[in-house]
Amino acid sequence: MPDQGHPDHQLKRIVLPSGKTIEVVYFEHPAAAPPEPEAAAPEAIVAETQSTDRLLHKCPDCESSLVYPVQWEEADEAHWQITLRCPNCERSEEGVFPQDLCDGFDDELERGTDALTRDYKRLMTANLAEEIDRFAKALEVDGILPSDF
């Protein structure tokens, strides 16, 4: 969202795939000519054309749904350059992907994070319940003495 209060720059808030929000300031210098867009690397062009018909969290080789971003940065206002890794087959890929595809990837990463958090809480609850049961049984059979503390 551009900041309208300052004519010499724009402020844009970006939500990264990790969920963190950063603010990017774009300064406009009327005296300077806009830079020529750099030609993307051939691999990046291939990844971008192929990326529109795939899901970033799915591995094209082994079809695992556990692909995650290793590194990412904004390529331009509508694209992200992302390095992806599949933990199952160790495939690594770098490409430039459109914002809408990255938004879907971010949603999938959030779902995965939520699932891991739920599983972690269940595991911690089960472990704590087991510890409480052992402690209660030790108290019942006088297995805990004052000298234990």
The predicted pLDDT at position 40 comes to 47
Q: Which two tokens stand for residue 3?
A: 């900041």
The predicted pLDDT at position 149 comes to 78
Residue 13 has pLDDT above 50, yes or no: yes
Residue 15 has pLDDT above 70, yes or no: yes
DSSP 3-state of 126: helix
The predicted pLDDT at position 42 comes to 44
Residue 95 CB-density burial (10 A; 0-12 exposed, 13-18 middle, 19+ buried) = buried
* CA–CA distances in Å: residue 48 to residues 67, 75, 81: 17, 12, 10
Nearest to 54 by CA among 134, 3, 17, 108: 108
The predicted pLDDT at position 73 comes to 92
The predicted pLDDT at position 12 comes to 74
Residue 137 has pLDDT above 60, yes or no: yes
Q: What is the DSSP letter of 32?
A: S
Q: CA 98, 113, 89: angle at the middle one, nearest 5?
A: 70
Residue 19: which region, alpha, beta or left (left: phi > 0; alpha: psi -120 to 50)? left
The predicted pLDDT at position 77 comes to 87
Residue-wise pLDDT tens digits, 59-93: 999 999 999 999 999 988 889 999 999 999 999 99
Are 2 and 12 in contact by the 8 Å Cβ rule? The answer is yes
Are 12 and 22 in contact by the 8 Å Cβ rule? The answer is no
- The Cα–Cα gap between 27 and 43 comes to 30
The predicted pLDDT at position 29 comes to 53
The predicted pLDDT at position 54 comes to 82
Residue-wise pLDDT tens digits, 29-57: 554 555 555 554 444 444 444 445 789 99
